[in-house]
Amino acid sequence: MDASAAPLRRLATPEERLSRTGTAPDGGLRGLPRPLHAAAQVGLLSAVASAILRPTYRSGRPLLTNRHELPVLLNRRGLLGSAVEIGVRAGEYSAIILERWNGRLLISVDPWAEAPAGDYLDIANVDSATHEQLHAVARSRLARFGDRSEVWRMTGDDAAERISPRSLDF
């Protein structure tokens, strides 16, 4: 092996991916001038872009810079009743929604169960022990929202059968 070669990066294990917070890998910012690269890493570009695009939230074709802006859009549109997120994993996005959305109730749905590899080909299909950890992390993360958060351990199809038609804002 050439001593001057860059070291190989180790891939994260499923356990290390329980929480996927932080910034995008540097590869996602390649090609940006250095000042923009630095600004993007601290979130300045996203904040500026969001501020520019927020007036479109009341239009028929709103533009979002990223999914973290969805709760702001929902607030502006008066969608403040009940909602469901299907596919929760560790509850990170459910927490973001609840932090920024003024709605009454978010139901976070996930089976937290291992599926046969041939049925569900996705990095989210992890072993049962990891699913148990993810479920515990999600429940813990969302507990602080009290009555505004419900965690349902079931498939999206099963959850849909329990929800009345036209009872959700999103």
pLDDT at residue 65, rounded to an integer: 73
Residue 59 counted as domain residue = yes
Model confidence over 137-162: pLDDT tens digits?
Answer: 999 999 999 999 999 999 999 999 99
- Give the integer Cα–Cα distance in Å for 89 and 67: 16
Residue 12 counted as domain residue = no
106 and 38 belong to one structural domain: no
- Give the integer Cα–Cα distance in Å for 58 and 145: 27
Q: What contacts 27, CB < 8 A, 6 or more positions away?
A: none
- Give the integer Cα–Cα distance in Å for 97 and 20: 16
- The DSSP secondary-structure symbol of 88 reads -
pLDDT interval class at 66 (50, 70, 90): confident
Q: Is the pTM of this model over 0.85?
A: no
Residue 166 counted as domain residue = yes
Higher pLDDT: 126 or 109? It is 109
pLDDT at residue 62, rounded to an integer: 72
- Give the integer Cα–Cα distance in Å for 39 and 37: 5
| Domains: count for the chain | 2
pLDDT at residue 90, rounded to an integer: 96
88 and 167 belong to one structural domain: yes
107 and 149 belong to one structural domain: yes
Cβ atoms of 157 and 123 closer than 8 Å: no
50 and 96 belong to one structural domain: no
Residue 53 counted as domain residue = yes
Domain span at 47: 32-65
